[in-house]
Amino acid sequence: MTLLTEATDVFAAAESSGRCVVAFLCKRQPVPPGAFGAREREEIATVLRSLQAEDWRLSVRAMFDPESSVEPTAFDSGFACAIDFAGAFEAPSLSAALAGSVRLEQAGWSRRFATEWLLGPREFTTVSGLGDAFRRDWGFLAFWEWNDAWAAATGLVRREYDAECDVAFKGDLALEIGIAGRHRLDWATSWHHLGIWEAPSLAAIDAAMLGHERAADFKFTTSRHIIGRRRPLADLIALN
Protein backbone atom coordinates (compact mmCIF):
# COMPACT_ATOMS: atom_id res chain seq x y z
CA MET A 1 0.00 0.00 0.00
CA THR A 2 1.28 3.46 -0.91
CA LEU A 3 1.04 5.73 2.12
CA LEU A 4 -1.08 8.84 1.75
CA THR A 5 1.55 10.73 3.77
CA GLU A 6 5.10 9.81 4.70
CA ALA A 7 6.34 8.28 7.96
CA THR A 8 7.95 10.67 10.46
CA ASP A 9 10.05 10.54 13.65
CA VAL A 10 6.92 9.88 15.68
CA PHE A 11 4.96 7.75 13.23
CA ALA A 12 6.19 4.51 11.69
CA ALA A 13 4.45 2.74 8.83
CA ALA A 14 2.33 -0.31 9.64
CA GLU A 15 1.88 -1.48 6.09
CA SER A 16 1.90 -5.19 6.85
CA SER A 17 -0.81 -5.10 9.51
CA GLY A 18 -3.76 -5.24 7.08
CA ARG A 19 -5.96 -4.09 9.95
CA CYS A 20 -8.86 -1.76 9.37
CA VAL A 21 -10.43 0.75 11.73
CA VAL A 22 -14.19 0.71 12.23
CA ALA A 23 -14.90 4.11 13.75
CA PHE A 24 -18.45 4.98 14.69
CA LEU A 25 -20.22 8.24 15.47
CA CYS A 26 -23.60 7.51 17.01
CA LYS A 27 -26.66 9.59 17.70
CA ARG A 28 -29.49 8.06 19.72
CA GLN A 29 -32.85 8.32 18.05
CA PRO A 30 -36.20 8.05 19.79
CA VAL A 31 -37.90 4.71 19.21
CA PRO A 32 -41.40 3.50 19.96
CA PRO A 33 -41.91 1.20 22.98
CA GLY A 34 -40.67 -2.30 22.28
CA ALA A 35 -38.57 -1.35 19.25
CA PHE A 36 -35.24 -1.58 21.07
CA GLY A 37 -34.83 -3.47 24.29
CA ALA A 38 -33.12 -6.36 26.04
CA ARG A 39 -33.44 -8.67 23.02
CA GLU A 40 -31.71 -6.24 20.64
CA ARG A 41 -29.03 -5.46 23.22
CA GLU A 42 -28.31 -9.16 23.63
CA GLU A 43 -28.15 -9.67 19.86
CA ILE A 44 -25.65 -6.83 19.56
CA ALA A 45 -23.62 -8.35 22.42
CA THR A 46 -23.65 -11.70 20.59
CA VAL A 47 -22.30 -10.09 17.40
CA LEU A 48 -19.61 -8.32 19.44
CA ARG A 49 -18.57 -11.63 21.00
CA SER A 50 -18.37 -13.17 17.51
CA LEU A 51 -16.26 -10.27 16.26
CA GLN A 52 -13.96 -10.70 19.25
CA ALA A 53 -13.53 -14.36 18.31
CA GLU A 54 -12.78 -13.28 14.72
CA ASP A 55 -9.75 -11.28 15.90
CA TRP A 56 -11.38 -7.88 16.12
CA ARG A 57 -10.22 -5.33 18.68
CA LEU A 58 -13.25 -3.78 20.28
CA SER A 59 -11.77 -0.71 21.93
CA VAL A 60 -9.08 1.87 21.37
CA ARG A 61 -7.29 0.43 24.44
CA ALA A 62 -7.07 -2.94 22.71
CA MET A 63 -5.29 -1.35 19.73
CA PHE A 64 -2.43 -0.50 22.10
CA ASP A 65 -2.54 -3.71 24.09
CA PRO A 66 -4.81 -6.49 22.75
CA GLU A 67 -4.27 -8.65 25.84
CA SER A 68 -5.13 -5.95 28.36
CA SER A 69 -8.68 -5.22 27.38
CA VAL A 70 -11.43 -7.38 25.95
CA GLU A 71 -14.41 -5.36 27.12
CA PRO A 72 -15.89 -3.29 24.27
CA THR A 73 -15.67 0.41 25.15
CA ALA A 74 -16.44 3.74 23.51
CA PHE A 75 -16.42 7.41 24.45
CA ASP A 76 -19.41 9.24 25.89
CA SER A 77 -19.35 12.48 23.89
CA GLY A 78 -22.86 13.92 24.08
CA PHE A 79 -21.82 16.55 26.64
CA ALA A 80 -19.48 18.16 24.11
CA CYS A 81 -20.92 17.71 20.66
CA ALA A 82 -23.87 16.49 18.62
CA ILE A 83 -22.58 12.90 18.72
CA ASP A 84 -23.90 10.90 21.70
CA PHE A 85 -21.03 8.45 21.70
CA ALA A 86 -18.10 7.60 19.48
CA GLY A 87 -15.54 4.86 19.33
CA ALA A 88 -13.31 2.73 17.20
CA PHE A 89 -12.82 -0.99 16.69
CA GLU A 90 -10.20 -2.63 14.54
CA ALA A 91 -11.07 -5.46 12.13
CA PRO A 92 -8.65 -7.91 10.55
CA SER A 93 -9.43 -6.69 7.00
CA LEU A 94 -11.42 -4.15 5.00
CA SER A 95 -14.01 -6.74 3.98
CA ALA A 96 -14.41 -7.89 7.58
CA ALA A 97 -14.82 -4.27 8.67
CA LEU A 98 -17.55 -3.54 6.15
CA ALA A 99 -19.42 -6.78 6.81
CA GLY A 100 -19.06 -6.35 10.58
CA SER A 101 -20.63 -2.90 10.56
CA VAL A 102 -23.60 -4.34 8.67
CA ARG A 103 -23.89 -7.27 11.11
CA LEU A 104 -24.09 -4.86 14.02
CA GLU A 105 -26.67 -2.71 12.25
CA GLN A 106 -28.76 -5.78 11.47
CA ALA A 107 -28.55 -7.06 15.04
CA GLY A 108 -30.61 -4.07 16.14
CA TRP A 109 -28.04 -1.27 16.33
CA SER A 110 -29.70 0.64 13.46
CA ARG A 111 -33.03 0.72 15.32
CA ARG A 112 -31.62 2.86 18.10
CA PHE A 113 -28.61 4.69 16.67
CA ALA A 114 -28.09 6.83 13.58
CA THR A 115 -24.48 5.92 12.95
CA GLU A 116 -21.74 7.10 10.67
CA TRP A 117 -19.33 4.19 10.20
CA LEU A 118 -15.89 5.22 8.97
CA LEU A 119 -13.59 2.48 7.75
CA GLY A 120 -10.00 2.39 6.58
CA PRO A 121 -6.67 0.61 6.81
CA ARG A 122 -4.06 1.31 9.46
CA GLU A 123 -1.15 3.33 8.06
CA PHE A 124 0.94 4.04 11.17
CA THR A 125 1.54 1.99 14.30
CA THR A 126 0.46 3.00 17.81
CA VAL A 127 2.67 5.37 19.81
CA SER A 128 2.47 5.12 23.60
CA GLY A 129 2.75 8.32 25.59
CA LEU A 130 4.58 8.78 28.85
CA GLY A 131 2.94 7.70 32.09
CA ASP A 132 0.34 5.11 33.01
CA ALA A 133 -1.83 3.99 30.08
CA PHE A 134 -4.64 2.94 32.42
CA ARG A 135 -5.10 6.52 33.64
CA ARG A 136 -6.15 7.59 30.15
CA ASP A 137 -9.92 7.61 30.45
CA TRP A 138 -10.58 10.26 27.83
CA GLY A 139 -10.77 9.71 24.10
CA PHE A 140 -10.15 12.06 21.22
CA LEU A 141 -10.99 11.24 17.62
CA ALA A 142 -9.53 13.59 15.00
CA PHE A 143 -10.81 13.34 11.45
CA TRP A 144 -9.06 15.50 8.92
CA GLU A 145 -8.96 16.33 5.26
CA TRP A 146 -5.82 17.62 3.56
CA ASN A 147 -6.84 20.92 1.99
CA ASP A 148 -6.14 22.50 -1.40
CA ALA A 149 -3.00 24.24 -0.09
CA TRP A 150 -1.56 20.88 1.05
CA ALA A 151 -2.48 19.28 -2.25
CA ALA A 152 -0.65 22.04 -4.14
CA ALA A 153 2.44 21.99 -1.88
CA THR A 154 5.72 20.36 -2.94
CA GLY A 155 7.09 17.23 -1.27
CA LEU A 156 9.71 19.36 0.47
CA VAL A 157 7.12 21.74 1.92
CA ARG A 158 5.07 18.77 3.15
CA ARG A 159 8.10 17.16 4.80
CA GLU A 160 8.92 20.45 6.56
CA TYR A 161 5.30 20.66 7.70
CA ASP A 162 5.38 17.04 8.95
CA ALA A 163 8.54 17.86 10.92
CA GLU A 164 6.82 20.88 12.53
CA CYS A 165 3.78 18.75 13.40
CA ASP A 166 6.09 16.08 14.85
CA VAL A 167 7.21 18.64 17.46
CA ALA A 168 3.56 18.98 18.48
CA PHE A 169 3.04 15.19 18.47
CA LYS A 170 6.07 14.76 20.75
CA GLY A 171 4.43 17.33 23.03
CA ASP A 172 1.26 15.20 23.05
CA LEU A 173 3.24 12.15 24.17
CA ALA A 174 4.84 14.23 26.96
CA LEU A 175 1.31 15.15 28.09
CA GLU A 176 0.79 11.38 28.67
CA ILE A 177 -1.40 11.04 25.59
CA GLY A 178 -1.28 7.74 23.71
CA ILE A 179 -1.72 7.96 19.92
CA ALA A 180 -3.32 4.92 18.28
CA GLY A 181 -1.31 5.46 15.08
CA ARG A 182 -3.13 6.72 12.03
CA HIS A 183 -5.77 5.20 9.78
CA ARG A 184 -6.50 6.10 6.18
CA LEU A 185 -10.17 6.88 5.46
CA ASP A 186 -10.09 8.55 2.05
CA TRP A 187 -11.12 5.50 -0.01
CA ALA A 188 -14.62 5.39 1.51
CA THR A 189 -15.39 8.69 3.28
CA SER A 190 -14.89 12.41 2.78
CA TRP A 191 -12.13 12.39 5.44
CA HIS A 192 -8.56 11.48 4.57
CA HIS A 193 -7.23 10.35 7.94
CA LEU A 194 -8.24 9.44 11.47
CA GLY A 195 -6.04 9.89 14.53
CA ILE A 196 -7.30 8.47 17.84
CA TRP A 197 -5.89 9.43 21.20
CA GLU A 198 -6.25 8.20 24.76
CA ALA A 199 -5.67 11.05 27.19
CA PRO A 200 -5.55 11.43 30.98
CA SER A 201 -7.80 14.52 31.00
CA LEU A 202 -9.60 17.12 28.91
CA ALA A 203 -6.95 19.62 30.07
CA ALA A 204 -4.27 17.44 28.45
CA ILE A 205 -6.21 17.40 25.16
CA ASP A 206 -6.65 21.17 25.29
CA ALA A 207 -2.95 21.72 26.00
CA ALA A 208 -2.14 19.40 23.10
CA MET A 209 -4.40 21.34 20.76
CA LEU A 210 -2.61 24.57 21.69
CA GLY A 211 0.65 22.84 20.76
CA HIS A 212 -0.76 21.85 17.38
CA GLU A 213 -1.96 25.39 16.79
CA ARG A 214 1.54 26.71 17.59
CA ALA A 215 2.94 24.24 15.04
CA ALA A 216 0.47 25.59 12.43
CA ASP A 217 -0.90 22.05 12.07
CA PHE A 218 -4.24 23.31 10.83
CA LYS A 219 -2.93 25.41 7.94
CA PHE A 220 -3.05 22.32 5.73
CA THR A 221 -6.15 20.58 7.10
CA THR A 222 -9.84 20.85 7.78
CA SER A 223 -10.45 18.88 10.96
CA ARG A 224 -13.30 17.56 13.05
CA HIS A 225 -12.60 16.57 16.63
CA ILE A 226 -14.73 14.40 18.93
CA ILE A 227 -13.93 14.12 22.64
CA GLY A 228 -15.49 11.78 25.16
CA ARG A 229 -15.13 9.86 28.40
CA ARG A 230 -14.47 6.12 28.18
CA ARG A 231 -17.39 3.90 29.20
CA PRO A 232 -18.34 0.29 28.56
CA LEU A 233 -20.12 0.09 25.21
CA ALA A 234 -22.90 -1.99 26.79
CA ASP A 235 -23.71 0.94 29.14
CA LEU A 236 -23.77 3.43 26.27
CA ILE A 237 -26.08 1.17 24.29
CA ALA A 238 -28.43 0.62 27.24
CA LEU A 239 -28.62 4.30 28.25
CA ASN A 240 -31.94 6.01 27.65
Partner 1 sequence: MSDCIWIHYARPRPHWYGLDEGAQRQKQAAWRAVADASKKAGGTCHGRYHVRGQHDFETVETWSFPDAEAAFRHWAELTAAGYGECNAFANNIGLSVEAPR
- Which stretch of DSSP H or E encloses residue 141? strand 138-146
| CB nearer partner 1, residue 52 or residue 93 | 93
Residue 226 to residue 140: CA distance in whole angstroms = 6
Contact flags string 131-170 toward partner 1, x per CB under 8 A: ---------------x-x--xx------------------
- Please check whether residue 201 is in contact with residue 4, taking contact to mean a CB–CB distance below 8 angstroms: no
Smaller CB distance to partner 1: residue 158 or 229? 158
16 binds partner 1 (CB under 8 A): no
Rule CB under 8 A: is residue 50 a binding residue for partner 1? no
The answer to whether 52 and 233 are in contact (CB under 8 A) is: no
Q: How far apart are CA 162 and CA 6, in angstroms?
A: 8
Other CB atoms within 10 Å distance of the CB of residue 141: 25
224 touches partner 1 (CB under 8 A): no
- How is residue 55 annotated by DSSP? T
Question: Of 61 and 184, which has the nearer Cβ to partner 1?
Answer: 184
Q: Which is nearer to partner 1, 135 or 224 (CB)?
A: 224
Q: Which residues here bind partner 1, judged by CB under 8 A?
A: 1-2, 4, 93-95, 97-99, 102-103, 119, 121, 146, 148, 151-152, 186-190, 192
